[in-house]
Amino acid sequence: MASDLRLVEAVKATLGEEMARDESVVLYGEDVGVAGGVFRATDGLLDEFPNRVYDSPLGESGIVGTGVGLAAAGMRPVAEIQFQSFLYQGFAQLQQHASRLRSRSRGGFSCPMTIRTPYGGGIHALEHHSESFEAGFAHVPGLKVVIPSSPADGKGLLAASIRDPDPVVFMEPTRLYRSLRESVPDDDHVVPLGEAAVAEEGADVTVVAWGSMLQRTLSAVDDVDADVEVVDPRTVYPLDTDTITESVKKTGRCVVVHEAPGTAGFGAEIVSRLTETAFYHLEAPPERVTGYDVPVPMFAREDAYLPDEERIAAGIRRAVEA
């Protein structure tokens, strides 16, 4: 059986199912209890699990640090950070403690903590509410970084993240929370971390895109006179390099699309890996279609900052025609 759900509904359903399945799962964060979360992703869970859903003080460093302690004590904390940019306040706890607990204790302790956080542009939010820092989180050894691009993958990847023995940053594209519905399995549904998906098969050029950029890419390929293969990594770290490499070996061309700034964005990591794994199969220089190297602008200029279908299609044409 399956239900038509939006991403925010799939997230909420998965949280409830994982709490029912495992009594060690606890939810906490700013306004996740009484208010049901800033995007209502935890709405009603306080009533269903009254002793396992907690509102936290306004302090992201304390939210992440509390999770490290809970995890070390045998719990599976799921913390919500209201917007990804607020997680910078908790980055020291992530980098210095959560990601290192296993190695620091020589395997004596692990840190099965999931940090859920909405990210990215597209909803015309205020400053510090629309950034995409996946490359920064992926640079921290010991930390997994997961980004769903659809409701069904949202359920499967979140379940896998909560069950993972190590810390996971689970980045939820705000633009997709309520803009897309699809069939989501009602039964236990787990998508393994570190496995990319081929969203659309093609033979002329490979486009790698994730989060809300996947949907824009799938729309953009309709305006391109080429047979385009679209790959969704789903997990930024660990990255499924093999699937991307095999696709590029087939097509000979590659475009990476993300909404974070181009310089040192995760597209640079993907292109670098392809020079190691598929260099002699490349028939053209890889292209990157990204956000600009500026702070994400206020909402009046947000649409000009984010890669749209026109920019993505132009990048694909450059790769095909080179």
Dist CA 159 CA 180 (whole Å): 20
Q: Tokens 């956000």 appear where?
A: 291
Cα separation, 14 vs 120, whole angstroms:
22
Based on the residue annotation, tell me whether 281 is a catalytic residue of this protein: no
DSSP 50: T
Q: Where does 79-238 have alpha helices with state H?
A: 91-96, 101-104, 134-138, 151-163, 212-220
Catalytic residue among 97, 129, 189, 258: 129
Is residue 65 within 8 Å of residue 97, measured between CB atoms? yes
Main-chain dihedrals φ then ψ at residue 76, nearest 5 degrees: -120, 85
CB 236 within 8 A of CB 208: no
Q: Print the SS3 string covering 174-189.
A: HHHCCCCEEEEECCCC
Q: Which two tokens stand for residue 106?
A: 């020589």
**Residue whose structure tokens are 């199912």:** 17
Q: Is 36 left (phi over 0), alpha (psi -120 to 50) or beta?
A: left
7, 154 Cβ separation under 8 angstroms = yes
Which residues participate in catalysis according to the annotation?
129
